[in-house]
A and B are shown apart, each in its own frame.
Chain A
Amino acid sequence: MRVFWFLFSTILTIALIIILDMKWGAVPPLGKFLSPQQGFWQNAESVNHDYNQHIIIEGLKGNVNVHFDERLVPHIFAESDEDAFYVQGFIHAKFRLWQMEFQTHAAAGRISEILGNDERFIRYDREQRRLGMGYAAENALEEMEKDPATKISSDAYTAGVNAYIASLTESELPIEYKLLDYKPEAWTNLKIALFIKQMTKDLAGFERDIEFTNAKSVFNVDEMKLLFPEVSDSSLPIIPKGTAFDVPGIVPQKPAGADSLYFKKDTVISAIEINKPLKANGSNSWALNGTLTASGSPILCNDPHLNLSLPSIWYEMQIVTPNMNVYGVTFPGTQSIIIGFNEHIAFGFTNAGRDVKDYYQVKFRDESKREYWFDSSWQASQMRVEAIKVRGSADILDTVAYTVFGPVMYDGIFSSESTVDKALAVRWSAHDASNEPAMWLKLNKAQNYQDYEDAIKLFTTPGQNMLFASKTGDIAVWQQAQFPARWEGQGLFIMPGEDSSYMWQGFIPQIENPNILNPSSGFIQTANQRAVDDTYPYFIPGNYIASRGIAIEKRLQQMRNVTPKDMMALQMDYHSVTAAAAVPLFLKYTNEAALSDTERNFLNEVKRWDFNTTPDSKATTIYQAWMDSLEKLIWHDEFANIPYAKSYPDEQTLLELLLKDSAFKYIDDINTSDTETIDRQITQAFKLAVAGLDNDLDNAVWYKHKNVSIYHLLRQSVLPFARTELVAGGWGNTINAIKSTHGPSWRMVVHLTEPVEAFGVYPGGQSGNPGSRFYDSFVNDWVKGNYYTLWVMNNEDVNDSKIKWTISFSAS
């Protein structure tokens, strides 16, 4: 009997340990995970956690002190830049390691390696690799390592991250590693490049070449120009209208025969990009010179709009060395301060939105893809075998052919409908060798306009509006990147790739990039609009948004004696210029006699509306549903004839068309024998909108309808790590551009007084740990529009009561 009980209990113990040490589907290894000494309880950080530490470490040249203020913002004091970047890497890893690794794995197309065998993850990884994300990062790394300054700072940053990883014990692993049951790998300089390329994809990876090509099977070239115009009527460009431009340094030539071969070709393409960058990725920035401010000193403001996530893409920091004293937000994953200010200047960024990604249709000789037809002969493809590791399954091998244009993203084995002679190669400026970190290294130290101009010239992609203001009173902007010089229409559609005639013929000389220094208006605004009016001598297609630029320009024109408080209020502005233009038109054509009592109640909300998209506004919801319904009514009939990927014209375009011509031809529903008029369609759209809200006004409270949510990077799988149902108004076309999961990822106002005063807030917190009180500590203030004073600490402030903790590093 004793033997039985011995065997019974021994086997049961061993079995329990084995079962509880294994991951079962989404369930983490429960023994490990629940153990209070190793598992998630170790990530439950005391609300009074003591961050003080003394760390003796290899690889530092001198001592470094990191002082944390009450918001857990580190102020790094180092004796050399190299040491500062080392500690920046260490601190990023200490607070954001999992995020840094996950984002760079995602960039490289390696999420299946962590998340396992799922069609969606494998498709994502393949798409990333076929787009050449790894290839782009490798090209960038080679260029980065040629430049001594970039090499030294990257090596130091990487060494710092790795020093932290080496110091980690199992119990200290970030909770995501415990949930998913894996361990971090070593950081590398390549990961810095991968991070930058992922940002590049988000910001300069959006185009609609496939959608437009498909649309061309239904619409002719003139109709396409009407539906997808290059220049919006109402847009207020960054470079004021009427500014004279130089004679272009390069005049690209349209290939002979393009009119029949390229513009009239009406084949359709079945390929679909699943993980397309968001069209809404945008931002606001503006700067005022001293003539407009109460103090006489310039003010620079910036709020970059990105996907909102926890942990946030941003991490706030100050870096002080004998060569620089710079404050702002950083990207965990790369060195330097990305958006911020130093003792002399401030700098901010918005997306240029210019199209720098084209597709070419190439013809392979056979299924092997080893040769493709180019300039009258068969050329050898470079074959890159992508080995995708899949957790718990065998590796997936995917062979990508590289042509003279770039990688062949879609071919027979990726998109089933593509065939050997319908493969699509990508030409993307992000593949070209570049060294983006070099710009920030210089910008962080820049003291004046000249330094700024020298810095920004180093930047190749993604195209950005780089806003500048200095204590000496200058304000300036450059729209900077290496932009292809295109002939009219080049790259709107998929181009023939059987010879060199459709290739990019060169780049716009940097000096001709749109720029302005000290405009007479006293201010500069950038908000993702087309940067220039139609007199700019180049064809510059892109993903432009007019509304916020109009709103900002109109407000700034009326402002005098501006204070930072005014600027905060402007960043929080909920006024919709789109609605203000649309609603009078809608009301004019609404046939009220055809409305029910309920519908009339809804209409009264809209009639009373001041066009502010405040959180509790009901009119905002009704208007937005009305506009959405109208877009469907106007476009669905014609666009239904387009197979595969398609894209409706922009909201702004529809509005401008209706304002110009209330009888334009697409108003009619071509599927009915009647001729639908504008009043009929607008009234019908209103009825559909009301029905969509279940005829219940209580459903129309804007913030509830919109449900602003900040998800963890693992999204639905860890919903309790998210913040949902935030009471926030706004929309993509208001200055305070908060959409459901997207919006101002950092709000900053810098007043270039002596000393500089600055304010900022981002929707997250300094700690990436969901078990820390600093995980989401800024979210409520961000929602309310509160700002923190950004404390620029000086050497003599070491005993200041604002310092709550200090981590001191000394070299071993």
Chain B
Amino acid sequence: MRFSLSVILIIILAFIAGIYLPWWSIAIIAFLVLLVLPQGIGLSFLAGFISIFLLWAGLALFIDIKNESILSQKIAALFSLGEASFLLILITGLLGGMVAGFAAMSGSTLRLILNR
């Protein structure tokens, strides 16, 4: 319950923050959400990771479908990924997920330290 709630909160808040703030606002949001809703170390990483993976890969996929992969094929080729758009979407999600995952872990462990 708490896990799902934190995932949903991160997705919504990170999306809104992303409109106004730099890309690393995903870390701040994940950190803050897990500070408020702390969970175990592994679970908190997973909450941050899954939320931003879903948000970033989801947004990228949505944009890519509307763009008919015109740009993602070129960028994938530029990064020596063949012309594989899905790889680029996957990397986008993984990268955002990693940053948010560790930030979430940081927020969660800080809360546990403070609670003590």
Chain A residues, Cβ within 8 Å of B45: 9
A5 touches B109 (CB 8 A): yes
Chain A residues, Cβ within 8 Å of B55: 36
Chain B: minimal CB distance from A16 (Å) = 5
**List of 7 A-B pairs having minimum Cβ-Cβ separation, nearest first:** A771-B71, A35-B23, A36-B59, A37-B18, A6-B109, A9-B105, A44-B67
B99 touches A16 (CB 8 A): yes
Taking a contact as CB atoms closer than 8 A, the residue among B18, B68, B102 that contacts A16 in the complex is B102
Minimum CB distance partner of B72 in chain A: A44
CA gap between A5 and B112 in the complex, in Å: 11
CA gap between A721 and B70 in the complex, in Å: 10
**Cross-chain pairs A/B with CB under 8 angstroms, 15 sampled:** A6-B109, A16-B102, A20-B95, A32-B23, A34-B91, A36-B59, A36-B63, A36-B92, A38-B22, A43-B71, A44-B70, A44-B71, A719-B78, A720-B73, A721-B74
Minimum CB distance partner of A3 in chain B: B113
Question: Considering the complex, which residues of chain B in the window 37-65 have a beta carbon less than 8 Å from any beta carbon of chain A?
Answer: 41, 45, 55-56, 59-60, 63-64
Task: Check B1 for interface membership: any CB of A closer than 8 A.
Answer: no
Task: Check A146 for interface membership: any CB of B closer than 8 A.
Answer: no
- Interface size counted on chain A using CB atoms at 8 A: 41
What is the interface of chain B mostly: helix, strand, loop, or mixed?
helix
| Given pairs A5-B109, A771-B74, 11 additional interface contacts (CB within 8 A) | A9-B102, A9-B103, A9-B105, A10-B106, A31-B99, A32-B22, A38-B22, A46-B66, A720-B74, A770-B70, A771-B70
Chain A residues, Cβ within 8 Å of B67: 44-47, 771
CA gap between A3 and B113 in the complex, in Å: 7
Q: Mark B75-116, 1 if CB is under 8 A from A, else 0.
A: 101100000000000011001101100110110011011001
Task: Check A17 for interface membership: any CB of B closer than 8 A.
Answer: yes
Chain B residues, Cβ within 8 Å of A37: 15, 18-19, 23, 59
- Interface size counted on chain B using CB atoms at 8 A: 42
Chain A residues, Cβ within 8 Å of B64: 41, 44
CA gap between A32 and B27 in the complex, in Å: 13
Chain B residues, Cβ within 8 Å of A773: 68, 70
CA gap between A327 and B54 in the complex, in Å: 48
B113 touches A2 (CB 8 A): yes
Chain A residues, Cβ within 8 Å of B103: 9, 13
Task: Check A57 for interface membership: any CB of B closer than 8 A.
Answer: no
Q: Mark A170-195, 1 if CB is under 8 A from B, else 0.
A: 10000100000000000000000000
CA gap between A37 and B55 in the complex, in Å: 10
Q: Mark B2-33, 1 if CB is under 8 A from A, else 0.
A: 00000000000001001100111001000100
CA gap between A721 and B83 in the complex, in Å: 12
CA gap between A613 and B77 in the complex, in Å: 33
B56 touches A35 (CB 8 A): yes
Chain B residues, Cβ within 8 Å of A491: none
Chain A residues, Cβ within 8 Å of B70: 44-45, 47, 770-773, 775
Interface residue ranges, B against A (CB under 8 Å): 15, 18-19, 22-24, 27, 31, 41, 45, 55-56, 59-60, 63-64, 66-68, 70-75, 77-78, 91-92, 95-96, 98-99, 102-103, 105-106, 109-110, 112-113, 116
- Given A9-B102, A35-B56, verify A770-B74 contact (CB < 8 Å): yes
Taking a contact as CB atoms closer than 8 A, the residue among B24, B78, B105, B110 that contacts A21 in the complex is B24
Chain B residues, Cβ within 8 Å of A34: 56, 91-92, 95-96
Chain B: minimal CB distance from A28 (Å) = 10
Chain B residues, Cβ within 8 Å of A20: 24, 95, 99
Task: Check A535 for interface membership: any CB of B closer than 8 A.
Answer: no
Minimum CB distance partner of B26 in chain A: A35
Chain B residues, Cβ within 8 Å of A40: 71, 75
Minimum CB distance partner of A34 in chain B: B92
CA gap between A664 and B96 in the complex, in Å: 73
- Given A3-B113, A13-B27, A720-B74, verify A36-B60 contact (CB < 8 Å): yes
Minimum CB distance partner of B14 in chain A: A37
Chain B residues, Cβ within 8 Å of A47: 66-68, 70
Taking a contact as CB atoms closer than 8 A, the residue among A6, A21, A39, A718 that contacts B113 in the complex is A6
Chain A: minimal CB distance from B57 (Å) = 8
Task: Check A48 for interface membership: any CB of B closer than 8 A.
Answer: yes
A38 touches B110 (CB 8 A): no
Taking a contact as CB atoms closer than 8 A, the residue among A44, A48, A720 that contacts B78 in the complex is A720
Chain B residues, Cβ within 8 Å of A17: 24, 27, 99
B23 touches A38 (CB 8 A): yes
Chain B: minimal CB distance from A285 (Å) = 35
Task: Check A663 for interface membership: any CB of B closer than 8 A.
Answer: no
Chain B residues, Cβ within 8 Å of A38: 18, 22-23
Chain A residues, Cβ within 8 Å of B56: 34-36
Task: Check A12 for interface membership: any CB of B closer than 8 A.
Answer: yes
Minimum CB distance partner of B18 in chain A: A37
Chain B residues, Cβ within 8 Å of A13: 27, 31, 99, 102-103, 106
CA gap between A21 and B110 in the complex, in Å: 25
